[in-house]
Amino acid sequence: PARLQAKETPQKEKKKSEAIGTSNQTDLLALGTAVGSILLYSTVKGELHSKLISGGHDNKVNCIQWHQDNGYLYSCSDDKHIVEWNTQTCKVKCKWKGDNSSVSSLCISPDGKMLLSAGRTIKLWVLETKEIYRHFTGHATPVSSLLFTTIRPPNESQPFDGITGLYFLSGAVHDRLLNVWQVRSENKEKNAVMSFTVTDEPVYIDLTLSENKEEPVKLAVVCKDGQVHLFEHILNGYCKKPLTSNCTIQIATPGKGKKSTPKPIPILAAGFCSDKMSLLLVYGNWFQPTIERVALNSKESHVCLVRDISNCWAPKVETAITKVRTPVMNSEAKVLVPGIPGHQAAIKPALPQTEEIENKRKLGENEVSIEERLGALDIDTRKEKDDLPQTNSFPVLLAQGLESNDFEMLNKVLQTRNLNLIKRTVLRMPLHAVIPLLQELTKRLQGHPNSAVLMVQWLKCVLTVHASYLSTLPDLVPQLGTLYQLMESRVKTFQKLSHLHGKLILLITQVTASEKTKGTTCPAQKAKLVYEEESSEEESDDEIADKDSD
C-alpha cells in the first residue's frame, strides 16, 4: 500500500451502528495502492470492507484524507487528479485535475469547506465549486506533508470566514526547511511567512493546534537521520530568519564495555499526547517498534536517551537470505583458498612420490597424511609477476586493488591500452568502486604525462558509463573537487598551447620549404636549336627592296 488514513468516529455512533447491524462506517482504514485502487479495511471486523476502483486513479495513490463531517474520502495520485469518493456507494462523486504534475499531498481545512493540495506548488480549493481560491509558491521538490497549524485567525476582532488568516505548514522531499504559509484576504502575497530548519529531510510531523493568538504551536519533526526536533512558536506574522529547534531528542544504546561505543537508535515517529506536555516516541525497527512516553519538562537544547533494545527481535540478513550455516573451524586447521580468478595452478606429474604412497598403502602402514597427498600432486601455486592477468578478471582485480590499495595490481589493470577492454572493465566493475577509481585516476593524472594519457582514457570511459550513478550522489562535488580543479587548470592552458602549436607548425613548414628550395640546383643542359636575329638596319633595307620589286 502506498498511503493509509484512518477514520475515527465517536463512540456513540459506533455503538448505534453495531446495534442496528448495518455496514455503516465505524472504524475504517483507507489504504491507497501503487496501482491506483483504494482499499477500505474494517478494523472492527478485521476484514476488507470495500474496494474503490471504478473511475478513480490510473497511477500510484500518494495521499488520502477523510472529511471530518460527511465521511467523504479525498485522494490524490501521480495521474495529476484529485478524486472525491462517496464511501457509502463506493463510487466517484467528483474528479478534477489538481496540477500539471503529480499531486503528492492533501489537507482539509478545520471548517471542512476548503482543501489544500500540493505537488510542487500549493493550491487551496473550494470544495463546493472545486475552484482555486488561493495559489502559493510551494517548494522546489514534491511536497510530502501539509498540516493546518491554527483554527482561529490572529486578529479575532474582524469577522472570520473560516479560512482567512489561518496558518498551515508544508514539508517537501529532500528539503530541510518546513515552510509556514498564511491564507490572506488579498491574493498578492504567495510566499511563506516563516520557516523552521531541521537537520535532514522530514519523514513524520505532528503538531498541537493553536486555538488563540496567545497559544504557541508545538511542533515535533522526525527527520531521516533518526532525530526529533521540537519547536514552540507563536505564529504572529512574517519572520525572515529560519527558526531553529528548541530541543532535539536522540536515542542511543548504552555501549557495553569500555571499548564499545554507543550506537544511535533511529526514531521512527513521534506524536503529542492529549495533555500536550508529553510525547510518544516510536523507535527501533519497523518489525518490532518500541513505544515510549517522554515528558517534555527538560530545558536542555539537546537530550540523548539511553535505551537498550538488544532483547528486541531483529531479522538477521543471513537467516533471511540463506539457510546455509558456516561450520565451526578449528584454530589449528589450515584452510586452502583459491587464488585470484583467472589464474590456474600448474599441475606437474610426480610419479615417484605417488609410487611411494602406493607402496605405503600396500605395506599396511599408517594412512597417508594430507600433506603428503598434496605433495604428490605437486601443485605450484606461485604466480609469476610477469604474466598478465586474463581479461575476464580485470573488474575483480580492479576492485581488489582499489580496496587493498595494491599498486602493482592496479598497474596491471590501468596500464592497458586496449580501449574495448577498458570499456568492458568499467561496465562490469561494481558501483561502490567508481568513486575510489576516480580518486586513483586523479592521483595518476598529476604524475608523469605518459601515464596521464592512459588515465584520460579510463576517466572518459568512467564518466560516460556511470554518469547516471554519479548524478545521484549528493556529495559528489566535494569528493571530486580535486579532479575538477585539475581539469580546470589544464583547460586554461589549452588555448595558449594550441596557439603555440599552430605557430610552431607554421614555422616548421616554412623552414622545411626554404631548405628544399635551397637544395635544388639547375641541371646543365645544351640547347638543341639556336636562332639568331639580324640587326634592325639590315632588316629595314631588305623590306624596302622587297616592296620595290613587288
For position 136, which CATH number holds?
A: 2.130.10.10
- The residue assigned the cell 539537546 is 302
Structural domain contains residue 321: no
pLDDT at 514 over 60: yes
Residue 199: how many CA atoms within 13 Å on its side-chain side?
Answer: 14
In a domain, 134, yes or no: yes
- Position 427 in a domain: yes
Q: Is the pLDDT of residue 457 over 50?
A: yes
Q: Which of 211, 235, 234, 231 is nearest to 220 (CA)?
A: 231
Q: Looking at residue 6, what is its pLDDT?
A: 60
Q: What is the pLDDT of residues 18-38, one digit of tens each?
A: 322 333 456 889 999 988 999
Per-position DSSP letters for 514-528, written without gaps between them = HHHHHH--------S
- Sequence-distant (6+) residues with CB within 8 A of 181 are 122, 136, 167, 168, 169, 170, 192, 193
Whether residue 171 is contained in a domain is answered as yes
Q: With respect to residue 404, please indicate whether it lies within any of the assigned structural domains.
A: yes
Q: Does residue 278 sit in helix, strand or coil?
A: strand
Asked if residue 419 is part of any domain, the answer here is: yes
**What is the structure's pLDDT at 18?**
31
User: Closest Cα to residue 483, out of 418, 437, 428?
Assistant: 437
- pLDDT at residue 273, rounded to an integer: 92
Q: Which residue has the cell 510525547?
A: 279
β-strands 247-252, 194-197 pairing: unpaired
Tell which of 201, 227, 253 closes a domain. 227
- Residue 394's SS3 state is helix
Between 446 and 231, where is the model more confident? 231
State the helix-helix crossing angle for 407-414 and 434-445, rounded to 10 degrees.
90
Q: What distance in Å separates the CA atoms of residue 455 and residue 445, rounded to the nearest whole number?
A: 6
CA–CA separation, 543 and 537 (whole Å): 10
Query: What's the pLDDT score for residue 410?
Result: 85
111-156 tens-digit pLDDT: 899 999 998 889 999 999 999 999 898 888 899 999 999 888 777 6
Three-class SS of residue 349? coil
- Domain boundary at 469, 492, 515, which? 492
- pLDDT band, very low/low/confident/very high, at 330 (cuts 50, 70, 90): low
Asked whether residue 270 is assigned to any structural domain, the reply reads no
**pTM of the entire predicted model:** 0.54
* Cell numbers linked to 537: 638596319
| Cell (9 digits) for 531 | 636562332
For cell 606429474, the residue is 349
Its domain, for residue 141, covers 104-227
Number of structural domains (the chain) is 2
Three cell numbers written together for 88? 457509502
Average pLDDT over residues 1-28: 45
pLDDT at 4: 56
Task: Assess if residue 143 is contained within a domain.
Answer: yes
* Torsion angle of C-alpha atoms 289, 295, 296, 302, degrees rounded to 10: -60
Residues 6+ apart with CB under 8 A from 393: 340, 341, 342, 343
Give yes or no for residue 460 having a pLDDT over 80. yes
**Which pLDDT band, with edges at 50, 70 and 90, does 533 fall under?**
confident
Out of 208, 227, 246, a domain closes at 227
